């Protein structure tokens, strides 16, 4: 009697997907996100471009993630966080925003390079593994509706969705709303940035009960002065969130210009 082995539909789907990706790689080889050179897999940097990026990690401020130049004890804070503790609990970022990484960020943010989102999300999931482990909800910093209309996508939402897919965490892309169009933050001083976004964010009514008692991981592309992250955190805490952590693709360590929104 001829035996039959049942086939799992999920296995077929995975095989078809893998075959399609292999065929796509043959037709359109993966390119470096920065220079366009051939790379082994999509969403990666070539060796030369990877070496130029200043990836962040310990030693760093236990709160805002600012890198320290010398070794530090676990729990040590930078002078800024000691002087004025931010409303969020912890912030972590993948790499420093500087002349070598600026092109990566701006192409993703303003030049429709949404193909970079899965690779960036994977980097962020690794850099923020400790934060993700504690998160109940992942939410992006929102764009105002008119800016979203002009840009056609919210880069922070793409990152949040990618992180959620990798981590299995619940993502709420529309948890926060931007009450008014705050314009571009570029060119503003630290004080000016804080004033510009003061009170600009709120938790949407549909989420107010779901946020209570939860730890929210806020996702954005770049951490500059912390003004935007801080205002979003305040809105979440006012709505009853237990705590807010922040995860960004890049962060300003040393001023490199005023082209960030």
CA distance 20 to 261: 38
Residue 5: pLDDT band (50, 70, 90) is very low
Of 13 and 101, the one with more pLDDT? 101
pLDDT digits (tens, 9 = 90+) for 94-137: 999 999 999 999 999 988 889 999 999 999 999 999 999 999 99
| pLDDT value for 20 | 54
25, 34, 95, 97, 139 from 39: Cα distances, Å = 10, 11, 20, 23, 31
pLDDT digits (tens, 9 = 90+) for 76-88: 999 999 999 999 9
| pLDDT value for 151 | 83
pTM: 0.85
Q: Is the pLDDT of residue 184 over 50?
A: yes
Percentage of the chain with pLDDT > 90?
A: 64
HEC secondary structure over 74-124:
CCCCCHHHHHCCCCCCEEEEEEECCCCCHHHHHHHHHCCCHHHHHHHHHHH
Residue 183: pLDDT band (50, 70, 90) is low
Q: Are 222 and 105 in contact (CB under 8 A)?
A: yes
């Amino acid at each position: 009697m001829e035996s039959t082995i049942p086939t799992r539909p999920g296995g077929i789907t995975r095989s078809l997907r893998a075959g399609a990706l292999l065929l796509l790689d043959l037709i359109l080889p993966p390119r470096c996100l920065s220079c366009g050179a051939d790379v082994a897999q999509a969403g990666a940097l070539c060796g030369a471009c990877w070496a130029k990026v200043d990836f962040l990690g310990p030693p760093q401020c236990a709160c805002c993630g600012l890198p320290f130049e010398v070794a530090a004890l676990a729990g040590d804070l930078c002078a800024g966080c000691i002087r004025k503790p931010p409303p969020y609990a912890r912030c972590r970022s993948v790499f420093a925003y500087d002349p070598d990484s600026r092109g990566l960020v701006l192409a993703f943010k303003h030049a429709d390079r949404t193909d970079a989102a899965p690779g960036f999300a994977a980097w962020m999931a690794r850099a923020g593994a400790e934060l993700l482990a504690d998160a109940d909800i992942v939410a992006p910093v929102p764009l105002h509706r008119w800016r979203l209309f002009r840009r056609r996508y919210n880069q922070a939402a793409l990152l949040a969705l990618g992180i959620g897919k990798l981590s299995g965490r619940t993502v709420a892309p529309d948890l926060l709303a931007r009450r008014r169009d705050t314009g571009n933050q570029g060119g503003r001083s630290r004080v000016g940035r804080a004033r510009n976004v003061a009170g600009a964010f709120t938790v949407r009514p549909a989420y107010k009960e779901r946020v209570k008692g939860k730890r929210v991981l806020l996702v954005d592309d770049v951490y500059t002065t912390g003004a935007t992250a801080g205002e979003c955190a305040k809105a979440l805490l006012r709505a009853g969130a237990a705590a807010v952590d922040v995860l960004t693709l890049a962060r300003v360590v040393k001023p490199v210009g005023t082209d960030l929104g």
